Amino acid sequence: MRRIFVFITLIIISTASLMAGGSLLLKNGTILTVTRGVIPKGDILIIDGLIKQIGENIAPPPGVKVIDLNGKYVIPGIIDSHTHIALAGTNETGDTITAEVNMRDVIDAEDISIFTALSGGVTTIHTLHGSANPIGGQNITLKLKWGKKAEEMIFSQAWPTLKFALGENVTQANRQVSPGEERRYPASRMGVMAIIRRELEKAKNYMAEWDRYQELKKMKILNRPLLPPRRDLRLEALADLLRGKLVARCHSYRADETIEFIKLSHEFGFRIACFEHIPEAYKIAKELAAEKIGISVFMDNWAYKVEAAQGIATMPAFCTQQGVLVSLNSDSNERIRRLFNDAAKAIKYGGLSEDEALKLITLNPAIQLGVDKWVGSIEVGKHGDLAVFNEHPLSSYTRCEMTIIEGEVYFDREAYLREREEAQKAEPKTKAQGGVQ
């Protein structure tokens, strides 16, 4: 137990000691900008969290810390557009429809998985409600500012999103039902579509009630106070979806049910930003491209349940080549530190270029989250969110050496290993002195 405490304390101390106040000059790195080519032996100047200059032989302004990268590779901070880390809860299973719950209320800024993600170059995550409900909760996009308060981690410019889910998770097809227990509705795929349609109809009527109330209020035709309709937080969230204030993110596996959900979006006029997982996306790539709906997928993880059986290794690359906006996600507190390895696989399985592969974990998820103006590529004016690697980030032998968010170093492998070694050397002395274990 004490070893775990020392480990966590060390991480916090190590991180705190590396804060650079938002201004840094990185020198002599191989810069993979993603959108503007490669700059060998390049420099990046970050002032107050924003990239101010990119080029060669940049002179450091007074008081700005300089880090010599000695030829290491720099890429935009990696973005995971589908994860569940940094939350104190994932699924609200107490009801079938839970659009009123909000992941903002359960951000866990002390989740050690944040540091794990930083060790793999991840700077931004979209952390979601789980997939137990046809309509789940409202998701949140975070910058992984380890050691900061939850409020300071929120990426406020990101689109507000609402989680939907289809298929086996929702119907609980893989859950053992106790003797005498009735399976929760919906228990079939048609039931899932039906209950989502039912709730959206309620939201439509709710919206009409409030619109009529606001209209009457403006007209002032009554001589007495006008009572507003009863406020319903669940229908309020769904009404915001119909108004365009929220966008849908939908957990989906099969091609047929995905098409049905797209038809539902046409019927009610809401926007789908992205389908999650969707191993059968290659079957409907043209339809997804035409709808301008992105997909957030695993690189090589399928056949772990029946509806995932038809996944193929070339799916992310194929869909990219068909014009679909594709991002790779981890959906894991462990795989999140290896997204750059997954991006490299899209070159082997599908033949993407290096820039196309890097976009799967940088610019594409940024576009899917509505934050590409600020992150996703290395450009002047964008946030100073960067990941530094000892070798090319798509090499099998590479590792992340440093992760920077808005000009502040949140992970430095060399400093962390040095301080961990010092802590381990000090530990036996404590035991010998009879200290608390």
Place of tokens 């289809």: 166
pLDDT at 17: 40
pLDDT greater at residue 356 or residue 215: 356
Confidence of residue 222 (pLDDT cuts 50, 70, 90): low
37 burial via Cβ count (<10 Å: 0-12, 13-18, 19+): exposed
Mean pLDDT of the 349-355 span:
97
Confidence of residue 182 (pLDDT cuts 50, 70, 90): confident
pLDDT at 226: 84
Confidence of residue 349 (pLDDT cuts 50, 70, 90): very high
Residue 3 pLDDT > 50, yes or no?
no
Confidence of residue 431 (pLDDT cuts 50, 70, 90): low
Average per-residue pLDDT in the chain? 92
Residue 304 pLDDT > 80, yes or no?
yes
Confidence of residue 311 (pLDDT cuts 50, 70, 90): very high
Confidence of residue 404 (pLDDT cuts 50, 70, 90): very high
pLDDT at 429: 60
Residue 1 pLDDT > 50, yes or no?
no
The Cα 79–Cα 294 span in angstroms is 15
Q: Which two tokens stand for residue 105?
A: 């209320």
Residue 244 pLDDT > 90, yes or no?
yes
Phi, psi of 333 (to 5 degrees): -85, 0
Q: Is 267 helix (H, G, I), strand (E, B) or coil?
A: helix
Residue 29 pLDDT > 50, yes or no?
yes
Mean pLDDT of the 291-300 span:
97
pLDDT at 98: 98
Q: Which residues pair with 277 in a beta bridge?
A: 252
The Cα 195–Cα 238 span in angstroms is 13
Q: Is 43 helix (H, G, I), strand (E, B) or coil?
A: strand
Tens of pLDDT, residues 113-146: 999 999 999 999 999 999 999 999 999 999 999 9
Mean pLDDT of the 240-268 span:
98
Please, what is the end-to-end C-alpha distance for the chain in angstroms?
Answer: 8
Residue 437 pLDDT > 60, yes or no?
no
Phi, psi of 104 (to 5 degrees): -60, -30
pTM, two decimal places = 0.92
> Mean pLDDT lowest for which of 43-47, 159-163, 165-169, 221-225?
221-225
The Cα 322–Cα 350 span in angstroms is 12
Mean pLDDT of the 271-288 span:
98
> Mean pLDDT lowest for which of 255-264, 372-381, 427-436?
427-436
> Mean pLDDT lowest for which of 77-91, 219-233, 333-347?
219-233
Mean pLDDT of the 368-390 span:
98
Per-position b or e across 222-251, b if 16+ CB within 10 A of its CB: eeeeeeeeeeeebbebbbbbbeeebbbbbb
Query: Can you list the domains of the chain with their CATH numbers?
Result: 78-202+229-375 (3.20.20.140)
